[in-house]
Amino acid sequence: METHTRRLLRLVVATLSGLSLAVGITGAAHAEPTPAELEAQIDKKWNEVEPIIEQHNQLKGELKANLAKQAQLKNQIDPLQAQVDTALMRVSAFSVLQYKTGRVSTFNALMTTGSPDTFAEQLVMLNMIAKDEAAGIKDVLDSKKVLDEQKKPLDELIATQKAAEAEMAAKETTINAEIKTLNDLRTKAYGTSGATGELRPVACPVEYSGGDAAKAAQVACQQIGKKYVWAAEGPNTFDCSGLTLYAWKQAGHTLRHYTKWQYSDTKRVSRADLKAGDLVFFYSDLHHVGLYVGGGWMVHAPTSGDVVRMKKIDSAPIAGYGRVA
């Protein structure tokens, strides 16, 4: 897993390094780009940024899960460590007593007794006490060793992930600058509304599938008009996988906050079998997802500077469909 984390970080940093060079408006210098041209550039730039957002979601999810495992192991180890410490304290207390009374010193033993026998007996007693304590906590020590061996590589992995998270956070300025550029382009093309038309052009959901899927579809529809914010999962702002996570959470199901995890955690269905509530995944790297609401429509959180809205699923390359079990 450590190799995977480092590989993920290198991919993100490499992608980020190229972003600032990719920003710009192309076209003839003598003519302003048309809205259609600007929209195409916004889509192109966003498809460079959104995979990074989803990779960040993945890293945060993995780190959160590992921190929970670390805390669980610590909760198991701490009582065992307390038992070991108590046993050591008892042996130590006897040793201190011997020291305070002068009985632990070979010289003192010889001077006060005239014979090494008394001192030898004291050392034997101390050794017996130590052995008795060790025998009493052998199982504790064995259990603690097993848990320590599990925790050590996890501690190292968490340290690596925290470093990756810190480096990714340091790149946040670059990401935010890219997002601002996209927002500026969108404002230039469409004004400050953030919308190119009706957010809900048809009834939402279009179809009723019943059960939890219908609930998820209804919840997604209720979020229309709320702002896109990357890494957000509601209730007031969303990114794409955050919206699907939130909708299904309200229906009593758990999805993880990363498009590829959601693809992995759902059952593959065909387009002919699509029902309201199913997830629709886009692009070969699965970096975007929407929630199907019937009639060829989905609800999705599209890009920064935009809001949750309905859109035809054929508006982008579809990679697959997923059903929440």
Tell me if residue 4 is catalytic: no
Helix, strand and coil in the chain, % to nearest 5:
60, 10, 30
In terms of pLDDT, which residue wins out, 21 or 81? 81
Tokens of 194: 């953030």
Query: Based on the domain organization, do 108 and 29 belong to the same domain?
Result: yes
In terms of pLDDT, which residue wins out, 80 or 317? 317
In terms of pLDDT, which residue wins out, 267 or 200? 267
> Would 126 be classed as within a structural domain?
yes
Query: Based on the domain organization, do 118 and 222 belong to the same domain?
Result: no
> Would 205 be classed as within a structural domain?
no
Looking at residue 247, which CATH number applies to its domain?
3.90.1720.10
56, 204, 240, 287: the active-site residue: 240
Q: What are phi and psi of 317, to 5 degrees?
A: -65, 120
Query: Based on the domain organization, do 131 and 4 belong to the same domain?
Result: yes
Tell me if residue 300 is catalytic: yes
Q: Output the pLDDT for position 96.
A: 56
Q: Which of 11-15, 104-108, 298-302 has the lowest mean pLDDT?
A: 104-108
- 274: alpha, beta or left? (left if phi > 0; alpha if psi -120 to 50): beta
Query: Based on the domain organization, do 41 and 173 belong to the same domain?
Result: yes
Query: Based on the domain organization, do 164 and 216 belong to the same domain?
Result: no
Listed in sequence order, the DSSP H helices in 211-299 are 211-222, 240-250, 259-264
Query: Based on the domain organization, do 265 and 165 belong to the same domain?
Result: no
Query: Based on the domain organization, do 282 and 187 belong to the same domain?
Result: no
- For residue 255, the SS3 value is coil
Query: Based on the domain organization, do 101 and 167 belong to the same domain?
Result: yes
Tell me if residue 253 is catalytic: no
What does the alpha-carbon distance between residue 218 and residue 131 come to, in Å, rounded to a whole number?
68
56, 257, 287, 288: the active-site residue: 288
Domain range enclosing 108: 1-192
Answer whether residue 223 shows pLDDT above 60: yes
What does the alpha-carbon distance between residue 8 and residue 52 come to, in Å, rounded to a whole number?
10
Looking at residue 149, which CATH number applies to its domain?
1.10.287
56, 257, 287, 300: the active-site residue: 300
In terms of pLDDT, which residue wins out, 263 or 199? 263
Query: Based on the domain organization, do 221 and 91 belong to the same domain?
Result: no
Residue whose entry in the numeric block shows the structure tokens 């939890």: 212
Query: Based on the domain organization, do 158 and 225 belong to the same domain?
Result: no
Query: Based on the domain organization, do 59 and 173 belong to the same domain?
Result: yes
> Would 60 be classed as within a structural domain?
yes
The pTM of this model reads: 0.56
Query: Based on the domain organization, do 143 and 248 belong to the same domain?
Result: no
Total domain count for the chain?
2
> Would 79 be classed as within a structural domain?
yes
Q: Which of 112-121, 155-164, 210-219, 259-268 has the lowest mean pLDDT?
A: 112-121
